[in-house]
Chains A and B, each alone.
Chain A
Amino acid sequence: MTLKKMNQKGFVVNTIVLACLFFLLALLSNTGAGKGNFFRLVLTPSLWQCGYLIILATSLNMVLGFMGQLSLCHCAFMAIGAYTAALMSLAFQRAGVFKSPKGAVFILIMFLSILCGGLLAAAFGFIVGIPALRLKGDYLAIITLGFGMIIVNVINNLPFCGQNGLAEGSAGSSLYKNGLGFGMKTKVTYLWVAILLTILAVVMMFKYVRSKFGRAIQAIRDDEIAAAASGINTAHYKVLTFAYSAFFAGIAGGLYACANGSISTSSFAFTNGGILNSTFVVVMVVLGGMGSLTGSIVAAVLMFFVNYEIKNGAWVAMLPSGIQGIFKYPMLVYAFVLIVVILFRPKGIFGDYEFSLVHVREDLAKHRALKAQEKAEMKGV
């Protein structure tokens, strides 16, 4: 089978699966009314959160897994995206362009706000990337951490980013008003936006890592000096990738602004105890496998699910009190998981394997053959 044919086949398979998925959701969303409805109250918000976590994790994986540079300011890029989208849509709302979240104009503004959030984040990624990427390893980690702190610190002190926002605002850590900030029912209505953007973002990142840019940054990861010697302009590729990745972190921020009525910088701070924490995202990427975008997707969904269930699941109450006591400190569990993963399976769940519906059968067969071979070798020894 030629490469082109394979791509065509992959396209067909993916389209069919996605179409089925959408059909299923459309079917489900009709049941989204009524009091205490599971779909509206639990599933939809979860899908929104999964959406932005997936984008965030995959975008970090581009930098951490494919380029081999640890960035600790992705949540700050996300904050930029979230604040931009929220304030821009709020400006349109205050100007009277739309009143309620309905109609074509609103949809246009929504996409425009999210896109601008992404672009601004990318611009910051560019600005941060130029100086930061001259350094690597520990230094890069600490300098990106510093940038993250600066961004949060500055947002806290911008008068239009606090309280009621824009002209009515005053500097503070929370923005109470948000032009997007969907309610429960609106979240159901616009669930397709979350899913569409997530898929688009992931596809665009896939395209990137499979292109010549992707090959270049993987070469940089494996050996920067050798890459430079073979004519790759390392600085250029590093900054470009960093900005590209920041763009998607910003898009994730835009989705966050849609899903949350109020935004607070403390949610994006390095020291935040919640799930949205630059270190938590690192956990996702490491767990899924540095260098596997599908791994990041699986890990993001898995981590979200575990996090949600630990806090809200009814089954937690049935566990013995000792385990319940541990679950009161979820971050302790995640830190432990991260250490265990690094110690015993540093590759993460997927390693650098990319899951694909088209190849799943062949991959499994290959894996089995490999295992069998290993076994045979062991016996031979």
Chain B
Amino acid sequence: MTTFIQTLIVGLRLGSMYALVALGYTMVYGIIRLLNFAHGDFIMVGGYAIIFSVPAVKAMGLPIWVAVFPAIIVCALVGMGTELVAYRPVRKNGTAMSALITAIAMSLFLENLAQAIPAIGPNPKVATQIFPSSGIKIGKVTLDSSTILTIIIGLAVMLGLYFFIQKTKIGRAMRCVSEDKEAATLMGINVNRTILITFGIGSGLAAVASLMYISAYPKVFTTLGVMLGLKAFVAAVLGGIGIIPGAMLGGIVIGLVESFTMSYISSSLSDAFVFLILIVVLLIKPAGLLGKNVGEKV
């Protein structure tokens, strides 16, 4: 029983992380139908931004988690910069394929650029502990506070995003752009500005995700976003990409699958099982767990 509960907790810890990252993924995908490979790397950027702003935050006598605010700004800027420099020109005259390849290139670029910056370098950095290591005891095992907080933040972000997209003016514009760019332009929506804002918000969320990530796993390195981003993407697809509650569900499911595979099937094949789940789901229900199958327009 202890093993079961412990496995469950590890699954939730991983899953809540994937969910938080997947929210950013799914938001961007939902609006512009671009698989932003670089989203995982925005998390890496956020991680370093937090590490570098912690000393300043400490000097001001504020709690450490305040470091997330400069990180949000940095991430949003990087995200919007990426959109302006790479994605927008390609979207203008390229195909979906070239946009996808640009995203992959952007991801490679950010990872390697980080290595080349002297203050970062190839060595991993270890962050300060952000939340005190306390938690709720369940039998012999502990559900630590950062996991609970990650899930709460994930839910809050999910609800916030949902209402933002449903109720606000910009949110409506986003939905409009995602449905039909030309029609949106005709309605007087500035499509480019809307997409830029989408990127800003999505990347800002990445900074929140990095805060929660390093509070549970306090090591930051340049390729941090690769696996994390991939699994989060798997989570987003699993839940139905573009659907905000789907990302949350998918993330938790992926985390649980990974953890239970580790404990009960094979500890070294957990990655294979995560992708296997993705494949199986895509075959049975290509639109994801919460998605609706939509026919293709001719």
A–B proximity contact (CB within 8 A): yes
Chain A interface (Cβ < 8 Å from any Cβ of B) = 64, 68, 70, 131-132, 134-135, 137-139, 141-143, 145-147, 149-150, 153-154, 156-157, 225, 270-271, 279, 282-283, 286, 290, 325-326, 328-329, 331-332, 334-336, 338-339, 342-343, 346
Complex: A282 Cα to B97 Cα, angstroms: 11
Known interface pairs A70-B97, A157-B266. Does A335 touch B279 (Cβ–Cβ under 8 Å)? no
Whether B35 lies near A138 (C-beta < 8 A) is yes
Known interface pairs A143-B278, A332-B112, A339-B86. Does A153 touch B272 (Cβ–Cβ under 8 Å)? yes
Give the segment of B1-9, B165-173, B227-235 that binds chain A. Answer: B227-235
List which B253-298 residues lie within 8 A (CB) of chain A: 266, 268-269, 271-272, 275-276, 278-279, 282-283, 286, 296, 298
Whether A141 lies near B108 (C-beta < 8 A) is no
- The 4 lowest CB-CB distance pairs between A and B, nearest first, are A146-B275, A335-B109, A332-B112, A335-B108
Whether A143 lies near B100 (C-beta < 8 A) is no
Whether A145 lies near B230 (C-beta < 8 A) is yes
User: Chain A contacts of B109 at CB under 8 A?
Assistant: 332, 335-336, 339
Q: Which of A70, A135, A137, A335 makes the CB contact (< 8 A) with B105?
A: A335
Interface size counted on chain B using CB atoms at 8 A: 46
| B223 at interface, CB cutoff 8 A | yes
Complex: A352 Cα to B282 Cα, angstroms: 33
| B90 at interface, CB cutoff 8 A | yes
Q: Which of A68, A325, A328, A335 makes the CB contact (< 8 A) with B97?
A: A68
Whether A334 lies near B116 (C-beta < 8 A) is no
Complex: A286 Cα to B102 Cα, angstroms: 11
Residue of B96, B112, B276 ringed by the most chain A CB atoms within 10 A: B112
Known interface pairs A145-B230, A271-B226, A331-B112. Does A156 touch B268 (Cβ–Cβ under 8 Å)? yes
User: Chain A contacts of B104 at CB under 8 A?
Assistant: 279, 282
Whether B108 lies near A286 (C-beta < 8 A) is no
| B129 at interface, CB cutoff 8 A | no
Whether A150 lies near B97 (C-beta < 8 A) is no
Q: Which residue of A lies closest to B233 (CB)?
A: A142
Whether B105 lies near A339 (C-beta < 8 A) is yes
User: Chain A contacts of B101 at CB under 8 A?
Assistant: 70, 282, 286, 338, 342
Residue of A156, A283, A338 ringed by the most chain B CB atoms within 10 A: A338
Whether B116 lies near A134 (C-beta < 8 A) is no
Q: Which residue of B lies closest to A344 (CB)?
A: B89
Main secondary structure of the interface of A (DSSP, over half): helix
Complex: A336 Cα to B111 Cα, angstroms: 12
User: Chain B contacts of A270 at CB under 8 A?
Assistant: 226
Q: Which residue of B lies closest to A154 (CB)?
A: B272
Selected A-B contacts with CB under 8 Å, 20 pairs: A70-B97, A131-B282, A131-B283, A134-B283, A137-B96, A137-B97, A138-B33, A142-B234, A146-B279, A153-B272, A154-B269, A225-B296, A328-B116, A332-B109, A335-B105, A339-B102, A339-B109, A342-B105, A343-B86, A346-B94
| B185 at interface, CB cutoff 8 A | no
Complex: A225 Cα to B298 Cα, angstroms: 7
Complex: A279 Cα to B226 Cα, angstroms: 13
Whether B282 lies near A139 (C-beta < 8 A) is yes
Whether B230 lies near A139 (C-beta < 8 A) is no
Complex: A147 Cα to B272 Cα, angstroms: 8
Whether B282 lies near A147 (C-beta < 8 A) is no
Known interface pairs A329-B112, A342-B90. Does A141 touch B268 (Cβ–Cβ under 8 Å)? no
Residue of A271, A279, A331, A342 ringed by the most chain B CB atoms within 10 A: A342
| B159 at interface, CB cutoff 8 A | no
Q: Which residue of B lies closest to A280 (CB)?
A: B108
| B106 at interface, CB cutoff 8 A | yes
Instruction: Give 6 new A-B contacts, CB below 8 A, not counting A153-B269, A335-B108.
Output: A138-B96, A153-B272, A156-B268, A286-B101, A335-B109, A346-B90
Q: Which residue of B lies closest to A151 (CB)?
A: B272
Complex: A152 Cα to B162 Cα, angstroms: 38
| B142 at interface, CB cutoff 8 A | no
User: Chain B contacts of A282 at CB under 8 A?
Assistant: 101, 104
User: Chain B contacts of A132 at CB under 8 A?
Assistant: 279
| B178 at interface, CB cutoff 8 A | no
| B141 at interface, CB cutoff 8 A | no
Complex: A279 Cα to B108 Cα, angstroms: 9
Q: Which residue of B lies closest to A226 (CB)?
A: B298
Known interface pairs A142-B35, A335-B105, A335-B108. Does A149 touch B272 (Cβ–Cβ under 8 Å)? yes
Q: Which of A137, A150, A329, A346 makes the CB contact (< 8 A) with B272?
A: A150
Whether B298 lies near A131 (C-beta < 8 A) is no
Complex: A339 Cα to B97 Cα, angstroms: 13
User: Chain B contacts of A331 at CB under 8 A?
Assistant: 108, 111-112
Q: Which residue of A lies closest to B94 (CB)?
A: A346
Complex: A271 Cα to B225 Cα, angstroms: 11
Whether A146 lies near B108 (C-beta < 8 A) is no
A168 CB, nearest partner CB in chain B, Å? 21
Whether A343 lies near B298 (C-beta < 8 A) is no
User: Chain A contacts of B93 at CB under 8 A?
Assistant: 346
Complex: A335 Cα to B279 Cα, angstroms: 29
User: Chain B contacts of A135 at CB under 8 A?
Assistant: 282, 286
User: Chain A contacts of B237 at CB under 8 A?
Assistant: 139, 142
Whether A343 lies near B275 (C-beta < 8 A) is no
Q: Which of A283, A326, A342 makes the CB contact (< 8 A) with B116?
A: A326
| B190 at interface, CB cutoff 8 A | no
| B115 at interface, CB cutoff 8 A | yes
Whether A329 lies near B279 (C-beta < 8 A) is no
Complex: A336 Cα to B296 Cα, angstroms: 35
Whether B278 lies near A70 (C-beta < 8 A) is no
Q: Which residue of B lies closest to A148 (CB)?
A: B275
Whether A141 lies near B90 (C-beta < 8 A) is no
Q: Which of A325, A334, A346 makes the CB contact (< 8 A) with B98?
A: A346
| B126 at interface, CB cutoff 8 A | no
Residue of A134, A157, A329, A335 ringed by the most chain B CB atoms within 10 A: A335
User: Chain A contacts of B298 at CB under 8 A?
Assistant: 225
B103 CB, nearest partner CB in chain A, Å? 9
Whether A150 lies near B276 (C-beta < 8 A) is yes
